[in-house]
Amino acid sequence: MLLTGKKIGIAVALAVFAVIALVWPQRGEPIKGVEYRAVSIVGEPWSPQPIKGEVPHHPHMAEDEFSTLHGGGSNPDVNHTRGPLGHNATLHSRHGSTSPGGMIATTVFTSEGLLLSFMGSFLGFELNLLNPRSLELLARYDLPQRPSTFAGVITANMDLLMADTSGGGYFYLDDQDRAVLGDARQHIVRIGHRRTEDGDYELYLADDWDVSHLVPHDCLAMNNWFPDGECDPITSVMPDADGRIWWVTIHGRVGAVDPATGEARAMQFQGEEIQNTFAADMEAVYILTTHALYAMKAGEDGSPEVIWRQAYDRGGTRKVGVASHGSGTSPTLLGDRYILIVDNASPRSRLRVYLRQPDVEGDRLVCTLPLFDEGRSGVELSLVAWERSIVIANTYGYKNSFQQESYADVVGGLARVNIREDESGCDPVWEKPHKNPSSVVHLSTSTGLLYAYTMELDADDEPLWSLSAIDAQNGSLAFAVPVGRGKRFDNNWAPLTLGPDGTAYVGVTTGMISIWDGE
């Protein structure tokens, strides 16, 4: 009876999707109302006010600001290219899929300036190669579907989908313009792009390493209705200084594969989860679990080894606005000395700044600073970091576009903190009520602006979405580009990305929107 019930559930779900697909906008169509549309900004166009913010380069990755959703191996969310300045703001868009969903999320940029994006829908994941601004599809590559998507559909539990960061979204672009990711089969793959004989582009599989013998994969699926083992999806990948490709899993496994030999090793932090990406420099890889922050390296046989461990306050429970019971941030490296996270403490989450060198004697903690309001503080987004400054966005109260019953629950808040030069602590610089529910904030050092995807409520309590440009020095709003109204313009945890030509790209629930300064 259970088997029959589950089969009925999936049959009904697929039938519903089939009906929706008949009326769902076609792939590549503009999102209604956003087709090469010029808009009037709120505020005034901005004159660039450059600031310093160097980011160390990782030799096994493409140009850092364009190689990952967080701007390279350090996760600083810093761009040296400019974003929009508010002159004749122009918008365009595309639907990502013919099935429900179709969000075009994580985006990197090839050496040619093309977008390489991860697209997810209810019926499949894929990589898309897109032209800048026009978002014309040049090539696509199908990826395996996540087990959580299948499980979420047949159980009607959206949290199974939205609290799962696996499937390939945390990928990076390597130094040969290839996307490197961990797919839902427990394989590490490298996917390149090239021109065919007729001049078109294609995405192709360049390398494939099967690490399923190290990562359990007994998952609920159409051909596996009664799994009795462990299902532990790969969430993120990153290279170390020697070019090994490291990966992490939801259930705390950490592994590395040597691309030259295919040899792979792994270990596990029992009882700990890893939902976000990690960081890497020339000394170590830095992994943040729901319990502790780790610096790690490969041993003589390639096995992951812990250099140091730093526990943090994970609080008593998972907060609304955070994907797991622990820190929601990815570790961020600042300069050659610091590593930054936000914990999950109650009643207020706290910024924590540590020394990251392997030979530190004594306490690594430089400072800890409570953030935002008591009982209304949670951070699921990576931090922006440059020089001695850090910007943090409060995500408390936001779930996702599918489960958000009231956008009035979104608390919001954006804060800047500075590390003291004598390392005696950290000091608040400013805190503003900007509501950036779920999109990574990016700094453009060439303009001096922070770019966020913000929300305000109208008289009917419907969300109004904008690309907001914020003065990094004082937190004031420089200008905002209105984008749209309602859930279909919800960012739903997709990144905001700045391209090499000054265009901003925002993933929304059904696709992507490009925003740039017009003629």
- Tell me the three state secondary structure of residue 426: strand
Q: Is the pLDDT of residue 3 over 50?
A: no
Rounded mean pLDDT of 378-385?
97
DSSP string, 94-153: EE--SSSEEEEEEEEE-TTS-EEEEEEETTEEEEEEE-TTT--EEEEEEEPPPHHHHHHH
Q: Say whether domain 2-517 belongs to CATH 2.40.50.140.
A: no
Compute how many other C-beta atoms are within 10 angstroms of the C-beta atom of residue 83.
Answer: 27
Indicate the burial class of 56 (C-beta count within 10 angstroms; 0-12, 13-18, 19 or more).
middle
Please name every residue paired with 255 in a beta bridge, in sequence order, or none if there are none: 247, 266
Q: What are phi and psi for residue 382, nearest 5 degrees?
A: -60, 155
What is the residue type of 325? Answer: H
pLDDT at 402: 84
User: Is 140 within 8 Å of 127 (Cβ atoms)?
Assistant: yes
Over 90: is that where the pLDDT of 258 sits? yes
Assess whether pLDDT exceeds 50 at residue 409.
Answer: yes
Compute the chain's Rg from CA coordinates.
Answer: 22
User: Which pair of tokens denotes residue 346?
Assistant: 């109650």
b/e code 357-392 from CB counts within 10 Å (16+ = b) = beeeeeebebbbbebbeeebbbbbbbbbbbebbbbb
DSSP 408: G
Residue 223's contacts (CB-CB under 8 Å, 6 or more residues apart) are: none
How many other CB atoms sit within 10 Å of the CB of residue 136? 12
Residue 482 backbone class (left: φ over 0; alpha: ψ -120 to 50; beta: rest): beta
Give me the pLDDT at residue 6, please.
Answer: 47
pLDDT at 148: 62
The answer, yes or no, to whether the previous bond of 347 is cis (omega within 30 of 0) is yes
d(CA 456, CA 465): 7
Q: 4-32 b/e with 16+ CB inside 10 Å = b?
A: eebeeeeeebeeebeeebeebbebeebbe
For 467-477, what is the mean pLDDT? 98
Residue 14 is encoded by which pair of tokens? 């697929």
The Cβ of residue 175 has, within 10 Å, a number of other Cβ atoms equal to 16
Measured CA to CA, the distance from residue 363 to residue 337 in angstroms comes to 14
Reply yes or no on whether the pLDDT at 483 is more than 70. Answer: yes
For 31-44, how does the pLDDT look when each residue is reduced to its tens digit (9 = 90+)? 888 988 899 999 99
Mean per-residue pLDDT for 401-420? 94
- 280-336 confidence digits (pLDDT tens): 999 999 999 999 999 999 999 999 999 999 999 999 999 999 989 999 999 999 999
Q: How far apart are CA 372 and CA 453, in angstroms?
A: 19
Give the span between the Cα atoms of 120 and 469, in whole angstroms.
27
Enumerate residues 6+ apart whose C-beta is below 8 A from 356: 283, 284, 286, 295, 333, 337, 338, 339, 364
Strand partners, 90: 38, 516
Percent of the chain, pLDDT > 90?
77
Q: Which tens digits make up the pLDDT trace of 20-31?
A: 444 457 788 998
Give the β-pairing of 78-79 and 442-444.
Answer: parallel
Q: How many residues does the chain have?
A: 519
User: Under a CB-based contact definition with an 8 Å cutoff, are residues 247 and 194 in contact?
Assistant: no
Range of lowest pLDDT (6-10, 338-342, 444-448, 472-476): 6-10
Q: Give pLDDT tens digits for 154-200.
A: 666 665 555 567 788 899 999 999 999 999 899 999 999 999 999 99
Residue 471 clears pLDDT 70, i.e. is over it: yes
Residue 155 is predicted with a pLDDT of 64
Q: Is this structure's pTM higher than 0.75? A: yes
- CA–CA separation, 344 vs 378, rounded Å? 7
Q: Can you give the pLDDT at residue 2?
A: 41
| Digit-coded pLDDT (tens) for 48-106 | 999 998 888 999 999 989 999 999 999 999 999 999 999 999 999 999 887 677 888 89
Q: Is the pLDDT of residue 272 over 80?
A: yes
Beta bridge partners of 152: none
110: pLDDT strictly greater than 80: yes
In the prediction, which pLDDT does 157 show?
62
Arithmetic mean of pLDDT over the chain: 91
Q: Which residue has the tokens 């779900």?
A: 13
Tell me, what's the pLDDT at 330? Answer: 96
- Position with higher pLDDT, 466 vs 124: 466
Would you call 375 helix, strand, or coil by DSSP? coil
pLDDT class of 436 with cuts at 50, 70, 90: very high
Domain segments of the chain as ranges:
2-517
Residue 153: pLDDT band with limits 50, 70, 90: low
Judge residue 275's burial from the number of C-beta atoms within 10 Å of its C-beta, 0-12 exposed, 13-18 middle, 19 or more buried. Answer: buried
